[in-house]
Chains A and B, each alone.
Chain A
Amino acid sequence: MRVLNLLINGDRVEVAAPEHWTLLEVLRYELGLTGSKQGCDKGDCGACTVLLDGKPVLACLTLAALCEGRAVTTIEGLLPAHVKAGGTGPDPVQAAFDECGALQCGFCQPGMMLSARALLDRNACPTRAEIKDALAGNLCRCTGYTQIFEAVELAIARRIGIEPAPRAWEAQRMPADEAERRAREFAEARERQKEPR
């Protein structure tokens, strides 16, 4: 056992944990901060990503003992920090992920959003390629990443005050009239042949 002095989401906390425990174990098992996820426990998936002094690190590969006196930000810390800084509601990255449909199962997303947060903190207006690179350590199995990129770009557009680009599915979507016309055709076809032939 070892007593650790940590700075978690702005609070000084003192916890006792076994010597070999990782930051992820301390967060999840000692501090009840279960927002950081464990997808592999060996540095492959990125679900455990947290910010250490503002930089994304894999909490499952980081010994808790090495975090003494350093600032740790977990997903639970984003909303309170945003509110404290005068904002309302969730961090703009969190809000954009929610609005863009990026949160399917959501399991990869705490890590993903922290990687995105760190990117936006160091680069106010990254390109799509820079976003891809910054998120390459966070595996997502649900989304195919597109809605994640769109979410990050929405957060950027809002911050710099420009109109966000239409999301891929919107840009490609048939105009409503066309969809309704087709729909009516189908419905009429159904009326013509109530019983399948």
Chain B
Amino acid sequence: MAARDLHGIGAPWGDRSPGDPENRAFEVIGKPHRKVDGLAKATGRAQYTDDLVLPGMLHAKTLRSPHAHARIVAIDTTRAQALPGVHAVITGRDLPIQYGVIPWTQDENALAVDKVRFVGDAVAAVAAVDEDTANAALKLIRVEYEPLHAFLDPEESLARSEPRIHDDSKTGNVSKHVRLDFGDVETALASADVVLEGDYVFHGTTHAAIEPHCALAQWSAEGLLTVWSSTQITHYVQRALAKVLELPIHKIRVIQPALGGAFGGKSDPFSLEFCVAKLAMLTGRPVKMLYTREEVFYCHRGRHPMQLHYRTGASKDGKIAAVDAKILIDGGAYSSFGLVTTYYAGQLLTGPYHFPNYRFDSTRVFTNKPPCGPKRGHGSVQPRFAFEVQLDELAERIALDPIELRRRNFQGDFTRTVNGQRITSNGFLACLDEVERASGWRARRGKLGFGRGLGVAGSMSISGTNYPVYPNKMPQAGIQLAAERSGRVTVFTGGNDIGQGSNSVVAYVVAEELGMDVADVRVVAADTDLVPVDLGAYSSRVTFMVGNATIDAARKLRASIVLAIAKEWQVDAARVRMANGRVFDTESTERSITTAEAFQIAEAHCDTLGSTGSYNTPTLGGDYRGGTIGASPAYSFTAHVVEASVDVETGRITCHAVWIAHDCGRALNPMLVAGQMEGSAYMGIAEALLEEHGVNRFGLHAGPSLLDYRIPTSVDTPELAALIVESLDPEGPYGAKEAGEGPLHPSLPALSNAIFDAVGVRLRELPFTPAKVLRALAEKDARSAPVARGRA
């Protein structure tokens, strides 16, 4: 197809022009349907990777580095190999080829070669009859290390390039530097009525999906390798396996079973996928590896710590004139998605507000800590925190209502951002209206008494990106449909359902287009032998891209069925409709058959029934180096109001409620959209109040357990109110945009702003621990105290 075809925002049988009342005539879309895998998950039938067992399966374990930075002088595996029950032991020598998700920065090995770069770096792997034997074997491996200076402070990595964390790096310990200038920031700041300047600190956080990473491999006598993995991107895992194992890619099959949460933490290829594959090839037995919870914390790829410096200039009526950002990003030991993170840290700030002048300078450095990567709101949650707090400071300075300030700077819809990103639909104003209304903002803000307050923040996020991780001209999403005479349709999709419901979305689309019951649509997903290529679940691309590809395929299939029926009935094709599980003639409705009967007629007329569909992004982005990074076919917009209180005796913050208004284009299933919004805000508030992914001075994780790394329980979670705003995007499937990542962003700054409303202190450093709150309160007292003391 012309991959960039637009399908329109209307229901399939509407004339799809605006104002057509038939636009409302959706049968499936927009309704709170169950998920296609809901009951399988409810009854314990759904199989996750660790639930799979193959005959003769071995269990594998990984030996990890106790040093943050060290050279490997020697490894002796002979005693481990000799242990009864051990079938194979591998080290970096067995898997010497490097990989990495971004083709230009491939700096990872499945097992360390010559050097380890963080406590927890993988050094050797053992396959044995059971886990206990594998663990015993790990203890018998002798590794001689020569410790090196460990970099734990990003400032130091910036200042010192020796010793190098990556020996062949041409930029010392700098992983990536990006500086982009739009307009004339200095002149605009010099002439601005108000200039605010401040430093903000974002700590590190991690995904903490409840399912630990797991992979299982089988090597067949025909030379085919099958890997089941808890990945959110089957296609990239398949590519990485082909490279590292030097196998033709079509000899590798990667399958993603049911997945127990990801949030970006299962986007990279991980050491365990290569290890189980290699061990299966060496032993001729299936091999499984399941990370312990502690290993999951060390594997990390979570949100980057950032030190952010912002200068914002504005007119006295609150119009933003210029924004200047300088950001230092702590990348941890490897590149991962870091190139993209470094761009995203600047590129994704340029909405929902218009500002004519903008500059950012972001530098990602390597440190000897668990590697950072993409986490829900990749690269953009940290700058958003800093900027939205600074906007609140601006509102305070010029004595303007913070919601009004945001309204005044609204960039509009169908416009371009200062860095050249194309904005289509934009429901941000409606989002502000909704949170203002629902939170009772006007009546309550500033009036809740000392200690309790309301804060607001806004944000923008991408619905996928037009930058495929490896450059190519092929579709980003492909779909195949097979319809069969029983009345059943099967969808084959490479989309990865990670709990967000992407398999359900494709089923809803097919059911809508073919007028069928959702239950008669089966979904086969994320098995590279069975489905067309799809780039997987990241950057919130799935609903938008896979949804569009599914509409494309379904409309082709529908067209052939309709044509066949029209021929059979000898009527004009425009008279044939598919709805409610039937196919009928709109001009004589007594002529009506079931979907199954229609498929039989069509099968007789045409051939075996099927179709394909795809989606690719239009050409997008600014005309400069990096201009396509952060370019998305549609942006989502969000506003939050948070209500919080502060106990000034203990410094403890309680977040009472979050009103989350999110412009998701069209809610294909409002219940699932609400679930994404609630889950996002929950995670954002948790990052602000409880979570911290840190290491101690030896590079040891500060608390690699779900007890020490505190994620909120049912009693810690604030009231969450999901306010769905639907702006209908011209290019989204039926107008839909993303809902999974955008709604996280404003939680953290809105909470900081609520605390300012409550007690008059600005929290610019995350997380907001009681100690920080007490310090800020003491500083505030100190500022006002001299006067008091003078009087005494």
Contact = CB atoms under 8 A, between A and B. Distances in A.
Do A and B pair up? The answer is yes
Interface of A: 28, 32-42, 44-45, 47, 74-76, 78-79, 90, 94-95, 97-110, 113, 131-133, 135-149, 167-170, 172-174, 176, 179-180, 182-184, 186-191, 193, 196-197
A112 B648 CA distance: 35
B421 to A, nearest CB: 10
Given A136-B715, A137-B713, A168-B674, A182 B39 contact: no
B728 A183 contact: yes
Interface string B25-57: 000000010110111011111111011010000
A106 B46 contact: yes
B191 interface: no
Nearest 8 CB-CB pairings of A with B: A35-B44, A105-B499, A107-B260, A144-B682, A106-B41, A169-B674, A187-B18, A75-B44
Interface string B418-448: 0000111101001000100010000000000
Nearest to B669: A101
A97 B211 CA distance: 19
Contacts of B259: 105
Interface in B250-274: 258-263
Given A74-B44, A105-B261, A186-B728, 14 more contacts: A39-B293, A76-B43, A105-B498, A106-B258, A107-B260, A108-B260, A135-B714, A144-B683, A169-B674, A169-B722, A182-B725, A182-B726, A183-B728, A187-B730
A140 B686 CA distance: 12
Interface in B714-735: 714-715, 717, 720-728, 730, 735
B720 A141 contact: no
Nearest to B35: A103
A173 B678 contact: no
A142 B675 CA distance: 8
B261 A141 contact: yes
B292 A190 contact: no
B80 interface: no
Interface string B498-510: 1111000000000
25 contacts: A32-B53, A37-B48, A38-B50, A39-B706, A74-B44, A90-B43, A94-B42, A98-B35, A98-B42, A107-B211, A132-B715, A140-B210, A141-B683, A147-B675, A147-B678, A149-B714, A169-B673, A169-B722, A174-B723, A176-B24, A183-B728, A190-B424, A190-B425, A196-B415, A197-B414
A154 to B, nearest CB: 12
Interface residues of B, number: 86
Contact of B679 (A99, A131, A144): A144
A135 B735 CA distance: 37
B23 A180 contact: yes
Contacts of B34: 98-99
A194 to B, nearest CB: 9
B631 to A, nearest CB: 12
Chain B CB count within 10 A is highest, among A90, A107, A132, A174, for A107
A29 to B, nearest CB: 8
Nearest to A89: B39
A104 B671 contact: no
Nearest to A192: B414
A90 B42 contact: yes
Nearest to B434: A174
A103 B438 contact: no
A167 B671 contact: yes
Given A104-B500, A173-B670, A144 B715 contact: no
Contacts of B117: none
A36 B46 CA distance: 11
Contacts of A190: 18, 414, 424-425, 730
B560 interface: no
A40 B706 contact: yes
Contact of B430 (A35, A98, A182): A182
Given A179-B726, A182-B726, A184-B19, A105 B720 contact: no
A99 to B, nearest CB: 6
A155 B42 CA distance: 14
Contacts of B258: 105-106
A42 B292 CA distance: 10
B45 A169 contact: no
Interface in B389-424: 413-416, 422-424
A176 B34 CA distance: 20
A172 B723 contact: yes
A99 B33 CA distance: 8
B98 interface: no
Interface in B657-677: 666, 670-675, 677
Given A132-B714, A143-B675, A196-B416, A113 B50 contact: no
Contact of B671 (A97, A135, A169, A179): A169
A82 to B, nearest CB: 10
A104 B675 contact: yes
Contact of B414 (A76, A99, A196): A196
B666 A183 contact: yes
B482 interface: no
A183 B675 contact: no
B373 interface: no
Contacts of B717: 144-146
Nearest to A112: B714
Nearest to A101: B671
A130 to B, nearest CB: 11
Contacts of A189: 413-414
Report which residue of B422, B681, B713 has the largest number of chain A beta carbons within 10 angstroms of its beta carbon: B713
Contact of A142 (B261, B415, B720): B261
Nearest to A74: B44
B161 interface: no
B427 A182 contact: yes
A98 B720 contact: no
B707 interface: yes
B705 interface: yes
B722 to A, nearest CB: 5
Nearest to A190: B730
**Residue in B43, B714, B717, B720 whose Cβ sees the most chain A Cβ within 10 Å:** B714
A155 B657 CA distance: 25
Given A183-B735, A186-B425, A100 B671 contact: yes
A28 B151 CA distance: 42
B9 interface: yes
A167 B715 CA distance: 19
